[in-house]
Amino acid sequence: MTVTKDIVQDRLVESKKHPMDYLIRADRFPHVWCSGCGLGSVLSCFVQAIAASGKPKEKFAVVSGIGCTGRSSGYLNLDVFHTTHGRAIPFAIGLKMANPELNVIVFSGDGDLFAIGGNHIIHAARRNVDITVICANNFIYGMTGGQLAPTTPLEAWSSTSPYGNVEPAFNLCHLVNSAGATYVARWTSLNARRLQESMEEAIVKKGFSFIEVLIPCPTTFGRRNEFDTGLKMLDYFRDNVVIRHGANPQDVPVIFGEDIVVGKFVDLKGRLTLDDRVHSIGKSKK
């Protein structure tokens, strides 16, 4: 066979393909996120976790809300739904109840999930809906201009708290654990390997699984709070993060200036899920 220039070019293109290419929409890159943002790392861990699960990609459905994290669904070569503000959880529940065989994953941010969407997430945990929720927590409303969020640390500055935040922040892991989640973990975008492994566990876990991922936001949170580059916050995570598996979520709020405790906090077994109960009722009526 004569090796032509076109054949050489095709082989070069083929050799440059990444093993995860089948799970991403390469034509959508480069992404829209700011330099130093942690969302790219979180999305990379997520894609690798899906690949490691061994499940066909047709068995996954990913739901995202609004804000910076909400844009993540557009980069995934999966069945994805970019939903309305605060309503990612109800969309996900509908998908799971209609097709229990799907692995339904919500990929969204702290503002979308715990401000306007706060009502939905506590009841999804209470009902033990069999979905996985990955919450990228950047401590702020990032895309809309850096306003105060339910996760903004006490005394932190934002565009709507120019003299410092006077409101205590939610402890997200404690909140969902109290509501009834079966799997609760927290990591930072710096803990990439452990984050990926945790995502793998959460994806196959039966019941409501929740992972909080602390990420840098140098543009709207960081520059007002002495973390004006992504590296500065990653350095902070490196120096202050403590891994403590099995810690009581109530005892590990995220407070800057103190140790930030990460790890797998809750991993319950044997609880029936909402879809188990609903479909068992349907079978008993036949």
Confidence of residue 270 (pLDDT cuts 50, 70, 90): confident
- Which tens digit of pLDDT belongs to each residue from 252-265? 999 999 999 999 99
Mean pLDDT, residues 128-152: 96
Q: Cα angle vertex 114, ends 53, 217, to 5°?
A: 75
Query: What is d(CA 265, CA 219) in angstroms, rounded to the nearest whole number?
Result: 30
| Contact between 254 and 263 (Cβ < 8 Å) | no
Model pLDDT, residue 127 = 97
Question: Which of these, 96, 89, 97, lies nearest to 115 by C-alpha position?
Answer: 89
Choice between 111 and 10, residue whose per-residue pLDDT is larger: 111
204's tokens: 């196959």
94's tokens: 């509908």
Mean pLDDT, residues 122-146: 96
Mean pLDDT, residues 164-183: 98
| DSSP H helix total and E strand total for the chain | 10, 8
Question: Which of these, 36, 89, 42, 103, lies nearest to 69 by C-alpha position?
Answer: 42
71 phi and psi, to 5 degrees?
-70, -15
Mean pLDDT, residues 108-137: 97
Tell me which DSSP letter residue 164 carries. -
> Within a 10 A sphere around the Cβ of 9, how many other Cβ atoms?
10
Confidence of residue 15 (pLDDT cuts 50, 70, 90): low
Model pLDDT, residue 222 = 95
Choice between 266 and 4, residue whose per-residue pLDDT is larger: 266
Q: Which residues contact 206 (CB under 8 A, 6 or more apart)?
A: 130, 182, 271, 273
Mark 171-185 as b/e (b = at least 16 C-beta within 10 Å).
bbbbbbbebbbbbbb
Query: What is d(CA 37, CA 233) in angstroms, rounded to the nearest whole number?
Result: 10
Residue spans per domain, the chain: 31-284
Mean pLDDT, residues 71-82: 95
Model pLDDT, residue 168 = 95
Question: Which of these, 210, 249, 198, 48, lies nearest to 131 by C-alpha position?
Answer: 210
Query: What is d(CA 108, CA 111) in angstroms, rounded to the nearest whole number?
Result: 9
Superfamily of chain region 31-284: Thiamin diphosphate (ThDP)-binding fold, Pyr/PP domains (3.40.50.970)
Q: Which residue has tokens 């409501």?
A: 208
Mean pLDDT, residues 205-214: 98
- Which tens digit of pLDDT belongs to each residue from 32-73? 999 999 999 999 999 999 999 999 999 999 999 989 999 999
Q: Where are the alpha helices (DSSP H) in 144-191?
A: 172-179
When the pLDDT of each residue in the chain is averaged and rounded to a whole number, the result is 93
Q: What is the reported pTM?
A: 0.92
Query: What is d(CA 228, CA 240) in angstroms, rounded to the nearest whole number?
Result: 18
Query: Residue 122 pLDDT > 60, yes or no?
Result: yes
43's tokens: 């999305």
Mean pLDDT, residues 173-183: 98
Query: Residue 3 pLDDT > 60, yes or no?
Result: no
Query: What is d(CA 210, CA 108) in angstroms, rounded to the nearest whole number?
Result: 11
Mean pLDDT, residues 224-245: 96
Sheet of strand 132-137, all strands in order from the earlier edge strand to the far edge: 79-82, 60-64, 103-109, 132-137, 209-214, 183-188, 260-267, 241-243
